[in-house]
């Protein structure tokens, strides 16, 4: 499968922050050892303007404003591609990022001028094969009426029958969100009317994937970012640089795409802390949730939201119900992500004073779980109750192929089922997996389950690889 990646320059990189995170964890967050580790890395990598190791001894903030607000440089970009067993990586400027954005669009849309465009930008490199030429991982289903398609990880296709909106596409990434690039093909060009981005975490925000499923006239809606920071770049400007038609509607705004009305709901939760106001001022993982109202059904997408010191989405859901009525389907991640020290959200560690980190670590050592920054099962039940949702459908738990339940999803869904029952919430829990489609007509919901592909054994895969290489 061909995969493409286009990102603004980031320094210090997430990889470097990961090194610091894991060193801190390996020494048990002992202040003296952490200070020594950070001093060594700062000296070796020349990171003096980004860190203040001495602040660890006093329990203060050991990251500086430079790390918090100067990490992303939107004047410098990196384009990477994997195709035909080749790997390329190119550094460019903002204008060049726009050129690469056009290249990806031409490739994905089957533009007959793609070959010429590629050779004009990258004259010394072979031209990638046409889009969707690899069908070895199956095809995504297409709806024949109003409904929802569960695609890779946190991606959903909302279809009114005449208008199509995709949420958080990841299709051109080679990572766990696409089963490391083992990604199904679309039977024809996806070509959606709009793209909605919930937030900028890498398992949701993929510029090249957004470009790849667009067509002429596709509109892109992203969260407004009050101040770009370590937790969230300026996603609107990123999209604009690569040539997407982008807007950033504020929470509470309503817009229409074809015959679908979209209400922008607040994205609370999945911040560094749930309750404590210890996060350095100005730092936030900016995001948006969405309510989609089609002529046949309504759906609320809450993604990874939860509770944070600024609030929760529950009251907004109640107000939405007052204006538009109960929701047919509510969709959310079910997992409970821990605050402050989180290996999946390593940058959060660098937003906290060291004494907050030490307290969190000590609490976990004594068997006390950290507060969850996402809903978790009980929060999902509360959201279903607030939205008066007729059905709940889990998603955003990864991708392991068509018709295959992501790891741990069954356990998380069972916990949600128990939470709904314990809270006395009548919402129906609908089990589905990536590749499944749901059709909704006048409140009637039916699921069409995708058939899992039979994967080759390791020996078969190795034999096929050897045969291909010998041609």
Q: What is the pLDDT of residue 132?
A: 64
Question: Cβ contacts of residue 327 below 8 Å, gap of 6+?
Answer: 291, 298, 299, 300, 317, 320, 321, 387, 388, 389, 390
Q: Which of 402, 387, 411, 458 is nearest to 433 (CA)?
A: 402
- What is the pTM for the complete model shown? 0.94
Write the CATH number of the domain with boundaries 143-448.
Answer: 3.60.15.10
Could you tell me how far CA 402 lies from the centroid of its own chain?
19
Q: Which of 431, 165, 448 is nearest to 293 (CA)?
A: 165
Q: What is the pLDDT of residue 461?
A: 40
Q: How far apart (Å, rounded) are the C-alpha atoms in residues 373 and 263?
A: 23
Domain boundaries, the chain: 143-448
Residues of the chain with pLDDT under 70: 132-134, 187-188, 454-471
Q: Do 27 and 359 meet the contact criterion of CB atoms below 8 Å apart?
A: no
At residue 164's C-alpha, the angle toward residues 289 and 100, to 5°, is 85
At what angle are helices 409-423 and 376-387 packed, to 10 degrees? 50
Q: Which of 156, 159, 187, 184 is nearest to 171 (CA)?
A: 184
Q: What is the pLDDT of residue 440?
A: 87
Backbone dihedral angles phi then psi of residue 420, each to the nearest 5 degrees: -60, -45
Question: Cβ contacts of residue 450 below 8 Å, gap of 6+?
Answer: 138, 141, 402, 403, 433, 434, 435, 436, 437
Q: Do 77 and 92 meet the contact criterion of CB atoms below 8 Å apart?
A: yes
Q: Do 384 and 59 meet the contact criterion of CB atoms below 8 Å apart?
A: no
Q: Which of 408, 404, 333 is nearest to 373 (CA)?
A: 333
Q: What is the pLDDT of residue 463?
A: 38
Q: How far apart (Å, rounded) are the C-alpha atoms in residues 263 and 75?
A: 33
Q: Which residues of 458-470 are buried (b: 16+ CB within 10 A; e: fewer)?
A: eeeeeeeeeeeee
Q: Do 216 and 166 meet the contact criterion of CB atoms below 8 Å apart?
A: no
Q: How far apart (Å, rounded) are the C-alpha atoms in residues 330 and 299?
A: 6
C-alpha torsion sign, points 323, 325, 326, 329? negative
Q: How far apart (Å, rounded) are the C-alpha atoms in residues 407 and 398?
A: 8
Q: How far apart (Å, rounded) are the C-alpha atoms in residues 449 and 431?
A: 10
At what angle are helices 114-121 and 94-109 packed, to 10 degrees? 150
Cα atoms in the 13 Å half-sphere on the side-chain side of 65: 3
Q: What tokens appear for 355 in the block? A: 């004494």
Q: What is the pLDDT of residue 471?
A: 31
Q: How far apart (Å, rounded) are the C-alpha atoms in residues 413 and 333?
A: 9
Beta bridge partners of 300: 291, 330
């Amino acid at each position: 499968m061909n995969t493409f990646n286009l990102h603004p320059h980031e320094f210090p990189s997430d990889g470097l922050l990961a090194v610091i995170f894991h060193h801190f964890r390996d020494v048990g967050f002992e202040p003296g050892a952490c200070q020594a580790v950070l001093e060594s890395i700062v000296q070796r990598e020349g990171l003096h303007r980004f860190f203040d190791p001495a602040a660890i001894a006093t329990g203060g903030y050991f990251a500086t404003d430079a790390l918090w607000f100067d990490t992303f440089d939107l004047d410098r970009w990196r384009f990477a591609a994997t195709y035909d067993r080749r790997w390329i990586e190119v550094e460019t400027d903002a204008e060049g990022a726009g050129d690469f954005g056009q290249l990806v669009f031409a490739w994905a849309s089957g533009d007959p001028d793609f070959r010429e465009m590629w050779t004009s930008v990258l004259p010394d490199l072979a031209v990638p094969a046409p889009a969707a030429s690899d069908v070895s991982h199956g095809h995504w289903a297409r709806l024949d009426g109003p409904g929802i398609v569960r695609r890779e990880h946190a991606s959903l296709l909302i279809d009114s029958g005449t208008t199509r909106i995709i949420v958080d596409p990841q299709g051109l990434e080679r990572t766990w969100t696409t089963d490391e690039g083992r990604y199904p093909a679309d039977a024809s060009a996806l070509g959606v009317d709009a793209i909605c981005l919930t937030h900028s975490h890498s398992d949701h925000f993929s510029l090249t994937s957004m470009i790849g499923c667009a067509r002429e006239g596709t509109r892109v809606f992203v969260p407004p970012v009050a101040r770009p920071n370590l937790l969230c770049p300026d996603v609107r400007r990123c999209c604009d640089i690569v040539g997407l038609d982008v807007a950033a509607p504020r929470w509470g705004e309503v817009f229409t795409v074809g015959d679908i009305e979209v209400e922008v709901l607040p994205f609370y939760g999945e911040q560094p802390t749930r309750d404590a106001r210890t996060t350095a001022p100005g730092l936030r993982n900016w995001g948006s949730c969405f309510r989609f109202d089609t002529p046949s059904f309504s759906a609320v997408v809450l993604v990874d939201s939860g509770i944070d010191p600024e609030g929760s989405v529950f009251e907004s859901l109640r107000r939405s119900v007052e204006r538009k009525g109960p929701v047919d389907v509510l969709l959310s991640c079910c997992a409970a992500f821990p605050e402050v020290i989180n290996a999946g959200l390593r940058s959060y560690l660098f937003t906290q004073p060291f004494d907050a980190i030490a307290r969190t670590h000590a609490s976990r050592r004594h068997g006390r779980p950290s507060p969850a920054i996402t809903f978790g099962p009980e929060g999902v039940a509360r959201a279903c109750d607030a939205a008066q949702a007729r059905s709940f459908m889990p998603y955003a738990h990864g991708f392991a192929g068509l018709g295959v339940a992501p790891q741990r999803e069954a356990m998380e869904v069972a916990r949600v089922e128990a939470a709904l029952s314990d809270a006395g919430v009548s919402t129906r829990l609908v089990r589905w997996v990536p590749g499944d489609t749901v059709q909704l007509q006048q409140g009637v919901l039916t699921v069409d389950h995708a058939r899992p592909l039979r994967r080759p054994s390791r020996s078969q895969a190795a034999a096929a690889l050897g045969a291909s290489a010998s041609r």
